[in-house]
Amino acid sequence: MRDIDEHNITRAVLARLAGCPDPRLREIMSALVRHAHDFVREVRLTEAEWEQGIAFLTATGQMCSGKRQEFILLSDTLGVSMLATALNNALPPGATEATVFGPFHTGDAPPAASGSDIARGAPGDPLFAQIEIVDLQGSPVIDAQVDIWQADAQGLYDVQQPALGEERRARALMRSDAQGRLRFRSVMATPYPVPTDGPVGAMLLATGRHPWRPAHVHFLIRAPGFHPLTTHLFRDADPYLDSDVVFGVRSSLIGDFVRHDGGTAPDGSRVDGPYYVLHHRFVLAPSGAAVAASA
């Protein structure tokens, strides 16, 4: 096709995709082209603005490393991550809701036995968590793999602290027992800002948005025969529950973090200052339930 102009270029690009042998890839790429072209037309994008956009995406890629994923952060702050999560995790009533994955998960969380102190020196008021994992009928899910990670009282994950090197804090891989339960000691989470030293931070500043996330603890739960659950537990009365920068808050995920002024903790240890206790039940849906619920 010759004589390409603003009126026929979309048809020309779509025609080039007509021979794509993968139907799903053809569907995705064709929709991407249509929406991208419509976006350019709608805002009448200038060449200078497009160059600025390319520079922004280039800088986003350059900020990524083995310990930081700026593109996930971009997806999160634009609401795309939560939209994809909501579309792909429409579960039956009673199942625990999913939320965003976040950019600070690692694949090397240290295994820990139930009752362990997973904080491993991370600063913060002690948190004693007692977790139960069940199916939709309330039966225990035995030997579920539970990946846990969180920021410390300074609002930092271990991978954000170069001085720690490869040391892992406030992060663990645990398994549920014969009653579907596990316990751990950590630190009480606090609100924190997402990293603002990169292009995503610049975007937030330019658009007048704050960078804060409400206090939360991450959980990734997997068990054979069940739909994987990626979720958080949030702290009630947090000032950022209604303005989470990544749009990840769901009312059902607000946990009951109970403050105590000191004394004998649930694990039998003596705590002189304030500490928190969390009891929570996660309900897993069977494999395939998300597809059935969204059909």
What are the chain's domains? 1-45 (no CATH), 70-294 (2.60.130.10)
- Judged on CB neighbours under 10 Å (0-12, 13-18, 19+), 285 is buried
**DSSP annotation of 109:** P
Phi, psi of 60 (to 5 degrees): -65, -45
Q: At 52, is the secondary structure helix, strand, or coil?
A: helix
What's the token pair of residue 236? Answer: 């009630």
Q: pLDDT at position 284, please? A: 98
Q: What end-to-end distance do the CA atoms of the chain give, in Å?
A: 40
The pLDDT assigned to 3 comes to 87
Which of 74, 105, 130, 82 has its CA nearest to residue 282? Answer: 130
CB 230 within 8 A of CB 99: yes
Instruction: Check if the beta carbon of residue 260 is closer than 8 Å to that of residue 274.
Output: yes
User: pTM for this structure?
Assistant: 0.90
pLDDT tens by residue, the chain, 295 residues: 788 999 999 999 999 999 999 999 999 999 999 999 999 999 999 999 999 999 999 999 999 988 789 999 999 999 999 999 999 999 999 999 999 998 889 989 999 999 999 999 999 999 999 999 999 999 999 999 999 999 999 999 999 999 999 999 999 999 999 999 999 999 999 999 999 999 999 999 999 999 999 999 999 999 999 999 999 999 998 999 999 999 999 999 999 999 999 999 999 999 999 999 999 999 999 998 886 555 5
Would you tell me how many other CB atoms lie within 10 Å of the CB of residue 188? Answer: 22
Is the torsion defined by CA of 134, 236, 74, 64 positive or negative? negative
Neighbour-count burial of 59, counting CB atoms closer than 10 A to its CB (0-12 exposed, 13-18 middle, 19+ buried): middle
Helix (H, G, I), strand (E, B) or coil at 169: coil
Residue 96: the pLDDT is 98
